[in-house]
Structure 1
Amino acid sequence: MAEDEPLWEEELKKNLVEINDVFVKEQKGDKTSVPPEQLYHYTNIAGLQGIIQSSRLWATNTPFLNDAGEHRYACSLLRDLLKERRSQTNNEDLLTFYNEIEASLNAINLGVYTHFIACLCTERDLLSQWRAYGAGGGYAIGFDPLKFNGHTYAQNPQRQYELHRVIYEPTQQKSFLRKFLKRYEDFIEIGIDSKVNDPERYIDLCSIYFVSDVDDWLISFKNSAFAEENEWRLIVRRRKGENRLFESVRFRAGKGTLVPYCELDVTNSTVAAPAPTLPITEIMIGPSPAPDLANEGIQMFMQAMGYNDIPVIHSSIPLR
Structure 2
Amino acid sequence: MHRRAERLAERFNQASTQRMAKGNERGAPTEPLFHYTSVAALAAIIASETFWFTSVYHMDDDQELLFGFGISHALLAAALEREDANVKVFLKPLVEDVGFTRIRNRFEFYSASFGQKDDARQWTDYADGGKGVAIGLAPKFFGFVKKEDYEPWEKTFLGKVEYGEPAAKVRHAAIVDSAVQTIKQAHKQGLLLKAEDEEAFLHLMAAYMFVEILWNSVTTKSDKWSHQIETRLLAVNDLKDPHIEIKNAPARPRVEIPQPLLKANITEIMMGPKADDDARARVRQLLDDSGLASVSITSASAT
TM-score range, shorter chain: 0.7 to 0.9
Q: Which of 151, 154, 160 pairs up with 2:147? A: 154
- CA drift at 1:33: 2.1
State the match for 1:261 in structure 2: 254
TM-score (normalizing by structure 1): 0.83
Q: How does 1:94-113 map to 2 (within 5 A)?
A: 94-106=87-99, 107=101, 109-110=103-104, 112-113=106-107
Name the amino acid aligned to 1:232.
Answer: T
Structure 2 residue 295 is the aligned partner of structure 1 residue 295: no
For 2:203 and 2:144, locate their aligned partners in 1 and report how far apart those are by CA, in whole Å: 34
Name the amino acid aligned to 1:65.
Answer: M
For 1:125 and 1:309, locate their aligned partners in 2 and report how far apart those are by CA, in whole Å: 21
- CA drift at 1:278: 4.9
- CA drift at 1:130: 1.4
The Cα offsets for residues 166-200 of structure 1, whole Å up to 9 and x where unpaired, read as 11131111011112211111111122132333333
State the match for 2:233 in structure 1: 234
Structure 2 residue 246 is the aligned partner of structure 1 residue 249: yes
Q: Which of 47, 52, 57 pairs up with 2:46? A: 52
- CA drift at 1:104: 4.2
How many residues align? The count is 295
User: 236-245 or 222-231: which moved more?
Assistant: 236-245
For 2:242 and 2:24, locate their aligned partners in 1 and report how far apart those are by CA, in whole Å: 30
Structure 2 residue 5 is the aligned partner of structure 1 residue 19: no
- CA drift at 1:13: 3.5
**Structure 1 SS opposite 2:252:** strand
Structure 2 residue 278 is the aligned partner of structure 1 residue 279: no
The Cα offsets for residues 265-304 of structure 1, whole Å up to 9 and x where unpaired, read as 2222xxxxxxx835211011112262x3222221111101
Structure 2 residue 134 is the aligned partner of structure 1 residue 140: yes
Q: How does 1:121-200 map to 2 (within 5 A)?
A: 121=115, 123-135=116-128, 137-148=131-142, 151-154=144-147, 157=150, 160-192=155-187, 193-196=189-192, 197=194, 198-200=197-199
For 1:19 and 1:114, locate their aligned partners in 2 and report how far apart those are by CA, in whole Å: 21
Question: Could you list the runs of 5+ residues in structure 1 that have no partner in the other structure?
Answer: 269-275
Give the percent of matched residue pairs that are identical in Structure 1 and Structure 2.
20
Runs of 4 or more consecutive aligned structure 1 residues displaced over 4 Å after TM superposition: 155-159
State the match for 2:81 in structure 1: 87
Pair 94,312 (structure 1): closer, same or farther in 2 beyond 3 Å: same
Pair 49,103 (structure 1): closer, same or farther in 2 beyond 3 Å: farther
State the match for 2:302 in structure 1: 317
User: 105-114 or 169-178: which moved more?
Assistant: 105-114
Name the amino acid aligned to 2:190.
Answer: S
For 2:268 and 2:145, locate their aligned partners in 1 and report how far apart those are by CA, in whole Å: 23
TM-score (normalizing by structure 2): 0.88
Pair 46,211 (structure 1): closer, same or farther in 2 beyond 3 Å: same
Q: Which of 68, 77, 97 pairs up with 2:71? A: 77
For 1:11 and 1:96, locate their aligned partners in 2 and report how far apart those are by CA, in whole Å: 20
Pair 11,289 (structure 1): closer, same or farther in 2 beyond 3 Å: closer
Whether the 8 Å contact between 1:63 and 1:108 is mirrored in structure 2 is no
Pair 289,299 (structure 1): closer, same or farther in 2 beyond 3 Å: closer
Pair 28,242 (structure 1): closer, same or farther in 2 beyond 3 Å: closer
For 1:50 and 1:199, locate their aligned partners in 2 and report how far apart those are by CA, in whole Å: 50
**Structure 1 SS opposite 2:159:** strand
**Structure 2 SS opposite 1:75:** helix
Name the amino acid aligned to 1:54.
Answer: S
User: 96-105 or 62-71: which moved more?
Assistant: 96-105
For 2:207 and 2:105, locate their aligned partners in 1 and report how far apart those are by CA, in whole Å: 6
For 2:289 and 2:271, locate their aligned partners in 1 and report how far apart those are by CA, in whole Å: 18
For 1:108 and 1:82, locate their aligned partners in 2 and report how far apart those are by CA, in whole Å: 15
The Cα offsets for residues 104-159 of structure 1, whole Å up to 9 and x where unpaired, read as 452285363211110111x12112111111236221101114235x7233387566
Question: Could you list the runs of 5+ residues in structure 2 that have no partner in the other structure?
Answer: none
State the match for 1:220 in structure 2: 219
For 2:122 and 2:11, locate their aligned partners in 1 and report how far apart those are by CA, in whole Å: 42
Q: Which of 37, 40, 58 pairs up with 1:43? A: 37
Whether the 8 Å contact between 2:39 and 2:132 is mirrored in structure 1 is yes
